Every structure is written in C-alpha cells, then in structure tokens.
Amino acid sequence: MNVIESAGLGKRYGRTWALRDCTLAIPGGHVVALVGPNGAGKTTLLSMAVGLTTPTAGVIMVLGGDLAGSPDALDRIAFVAQDAPLYGNLPAADMLHLARNLNRRWDQQYAESRLRDLGIPLGRKIGKLSGGQQAQLALTVALARRPDLLVLDEPLAMLDPVARDDFMASVQKAVADDGVSVVLSSHVLAELERMADYLIVLSHGQVQVAGEVEHLLAGHRMLTSLTAEAGQLAGRMHVVHRRLAGAQSQLLIRTTTPAEPAPPGWESRGVGLEELVLAYLRESGAAVMPGLAEVQADTRTEVQA
C-alpha cells in the first residue's frame, strides 16, 4: 500500500509554483526522509497530503487510495508541524481533553500514560513547558489518534540536541510498537541518516530522486583523484555531481555494480545519505541530471512491484 501517491501534482500561489509536476509513490512501512532546500515545496507537499490545502493541478491520494483531505483519510493521518498548535495558557491535561473532543479516534489512556512516562506534568501550563516537552506533547497528541500515517514537518528545527534525540527516539518507538508509517521533513541530515529508510529529495518544486535508502546508497559511488581529468569520465559514466577542490576532483556517480573497480587514477568508496542528498541538491539546477531518470525509473519499478 502506498501511503502517499501523487500524479502531476502542483500548487501555485499567484504566478509562482510552489510545487510542480510532482509524481511519486511512497510505500507504507517506511520512515521516509523528505529533504530539500527552503522553498523546495516540502511543506506544500505535506500540507496537501494531510488535507490542509488543495492542489492547483494533479491529484494526491493517501493510504492506499483515499483522496487527501477526505474524512476517512483525516481519521487515519496525524500531523505535527514545526509550529505545533498548542495553547500556552492551557494545562497539558486540558490540551488532551480538547484533542479528545476534536478527534473521532483517540486513546486517552495512552496519552496520559505517555506524558507521565516522559515526566511532563499534566497540570502544568503548556507555556511553562520546555521546548522539548512541548514537542513531545504535540507528538503525544498525534500518536494518541492512533494514526496509520504520521506526517512530521520540521519538528526538530527549534529543539536542542538532547530534545531532538529524545523526540526521534519516540518516533522510532512508535514505528516499532505500532507499525506507523512516517514521512519526516527535516534539514537535520544526521538525524535522518540514523533512522530513515526511504528518501525523497525535492528541489525547485520537483522530485529529484526517490527510493529506498539502502538501494540508493548501493547504487552510487564517490570517485576521487588528484591527477585524473574528470571530463574524461563524463561520457562513460552517469555522473550525478562533479566537485573540484584545488587539484582534487570528486565525482558522485550512479553505478549498477557496487563492487565495480575504480578507473585508473581514481579511488572509489561508498557514500552516506548526507553526501548523496547534498550532491543531488547541488546539481538540481541542471536541466537534465545524468543518471537521474534511471534512478527514478528504478524506484517506480521497485515501488510498483
């Protein structure tokens, strides 16, 4: 089952397209990292997936075929934004009471127990809680709805390292205990590398690359040389991004064989998630990225299989 699926999806504000011609299929059972620069269309995509805004073009479906924003879809999706809608003058217990009255699916016992386990006083006003505690309260409200899909839009942006680690541990526990599918937008690539197993890179309002992290990392290599001419390889390999640092040349290439030997004069190694993301983002201004079409085609085939 695909938890989010779009075809020709676009959103325009005035004459500006925030997202354009976005076609993707995100399979369930994953922690999906949605990354891209500011203005890439990440929040726009997530807002349409959870029904907060409607498309200008195309269509977006969720959870195996429900129209995004429909009552059935809303019951099964929980959303936590960077600026969570918490009321500072309310005690935490009243926030739970409000959420219980606004949702058809709600587990009050789970919500209260979770806050107690986290040491968050139910009687304390939300405005008196730390940033990490407020983030955990917002996550508790989301998880108490017992969603099939949890959508998180930059939830880590305002958190210190300890609070960020605690928040991500809570998400991982929800995935392990309840089988929740997660789509997480964040700039914190180190955190995403630790827990995400599916990657989507957005830039200029379009999908640059999408697929399972393990598959994508296995399909890319970093070539480094102090003397070889990078241009000599351009016609023989799918070069995603070329970087020059003094006399050193670095090429991120798409490869079908992870153990393929390096060309003469070059050293070859695997890449991490952060390197892969940065390379695609740096190259995303090009009209055509060598190898990108193959990556997307492989991903679509894998998803539909």
pLDDT at residue number 229: 63
Counting as low any pLDDT under 50, the low residues of the chain are 286-305
pLDDT at residue number 301: 32
Task: Break the chain into its structural domains and give their ranges.
Answer: 2-213, 219-304
Neighbouring CB atoms inside 10 A of 67's CB total 13
pLDDT at residue number 110: 96
One-character DSSP codes across 53-100: S--SEEEEEETTTEETTSHHHHHHEEEE-SS----TTSBHHHHHHHHH
pLDDT at residue number 202: 86
pTM over 0.75: yes
Q: Which residues of 155-175 are buried (b: 16+ CB within 10 A; e: fewer)?
A: bbeebeeebbebbbebbeebb
pLDDT at residue number 244: 78
One-character DSSP codes across 157-168: TT--HHHHHHHH
Give the CATH architecture of domain 2-213.
3-Layer(aba) Sandwich (3.40)
Q: Is the dihedral of CA 68, 74, 75, 77 positive or negative?
A: positive
